[in-house]
Amino acid sequence: MSSAAQVPQPPQRLLSLDFLRGLIMVLLIMASTGMYDYLYDHTKGQPFNFIIEQFVHHPWNGLRFWDLVQPSFMFMAGAAMAFSLTRQWSNGVSWAQSFRKALKRSFWLFFFGVLDYAVRPNGLSFELWDVLTQLSFTSLVAFLIFRWSNVAQIIVCVALLLLTEILYRYTNIPGFDQPFTDQHNFGNYMDLVLMNKINRGGWVAINCLPTAVHTIAGALAGKLLLSNSNKKIQYFLAWGLGCLIIGYGLDYAGITPIIKRIATSSFTIASLGWCLWFLALCYWWIDIKGHRNNLKFFTIVGMNSIFIYVFFEIVGGRWFNDYISAISNGVLSWFHASDMLKFIIAALCIFTLEWLLCYFLYRKKIFFKL
């Protein structure tokens, strides 16, 4: 990424970035229907289960495809930031104005992230585990150092990962002195401090520290895409390979295990390697080779990514999904459909209606941005 030191040119929209953002959101919408979890639970012992397993988070030490979705989401946010800031500054917007906009965006990301978990059957709750609350921190950090040299930003990334290692390994808080053990690590302790509770799934709020690396790296990748370098793909592939070797190497050597739920340094580095390779592949295939047909299915969703995320997390999870499922299941019961078929059809109906909502906004040229 160091080649991106050249001054970025005024941005031109890259379809590969729109496609990647849309692909991530399409996968997340389908996850919000419960499809992956249902198929995983109901296909155990069958060969097909190995494929479905890749769409469910690893229970602890390991890395599956689904563990790469959040890093990709935050990485793409950084890449989009590079394009947005370059456009702002080429249009005469001052740094102070951009900073106020970044603060406002972080506030709303934090607000919607907290709101996502706030309403529970037994009352209100304050929780900081949502990806939007994480992004509110990581995007602000990436903005504040955006004008630093590439080397300085990479040093910040290394410092964040070292800080994470130190906090987990050397704080030695009684009951929370096992760095990589679920429910007994420093991240769990900080959740008690911040929220007076521990996530039963092992997720921790201070994941925002190491995963800031994903957003910073995304911004660096965006600057490289904006540069005049003719070796963009080579740099993405080389940096990606280096990250994969380091990340998996730390895990295989027994130094730091790959654990997505507490975003260990090895997980952060390895997942960043995959993000860089995903971007290299899409950029080469779409923007270099010109394969631009049949991408609108994904790009339509990507253009309203924050809106549809808030919709399926809050509206979908608390009302819409159950309402549509009740209608779908009721109709299918007339034909004596199996429970699995009912679930799959209901999930597809939910997905289709949410995609059509994005399509409606796209046709009306309504794009929600924070």
Give the contacts of 28 (CB within 8 A, at least 6 positions apart). 69, 73, 309, 312
Determine phi and psi for 183, rounding to 5 degrees.
75, 0
**In the predicted structure, residue 145 carries a pLDDT above the cut 50:** yes
Q: How far is CA 198 from the centre of its chain?
A: 22
Dist. CA 236–CA 232, nearest whole Å = 6
- Angle at the Cα of 126 (from 125 to 132), degrees rounded to 5? 120
Q: Give pLDDT, residue 196.
A: 94
Dist. CA 250–CA 305, nearest whole Å = 34
For the beta carbon of residue 332, count every other beta carbon within 10 angstroms: 17
DSSP readout, 322-352?
A: HHHHHHHHHHHHTTT--HHHHHHHHHHHHHH
Q: Give pLDDT, residue 11.
A: 54
What's the average model confidence in pLDDT over 152-174? 97
pLDDT tens digits, one per residue of 180-224: 999 999 999 999 999 999 999 999 999 999 999 999 999 999 999
pLDDT tens digits, one per residue of 40-96: 999 888 888 999 999 999 999 999 999 999 999 999 999 999 999 999 999 999 999
**In the predicted structure, residue 5 carries a pLDDT above the cut 50:** no
252-257: Cβ within 8 A, 24+ apart: 256/165, 256/180, 257/61, 257/180
DSSP 8-state class, residue 5: G
Which residue from 358, 346, 218 is spatially nearest to 302, judged by alpha carbons?
358
Place of tokens 């769409």: 55
What's the whole-model pTM score? Answer: 0.92
Q: Give pLDDT, residue 254.
A: 95
Percentage of the chain exceeding pLDDT 70? 96
CB-CB contact of 87 with 156 (8 Å)? no
pLDDT tens digits, one per residue of 325-360: 999 999 999 999 999 999 999 999 999 999 999 999
CB-CB contact of 127 with 114 (8 Å)? yes
CB-CB contact of 350 with 320 (8 Å)? yes
Q: Give pLDDT, residue 118.
A: 84
Length of the chain, please? Answer: 370
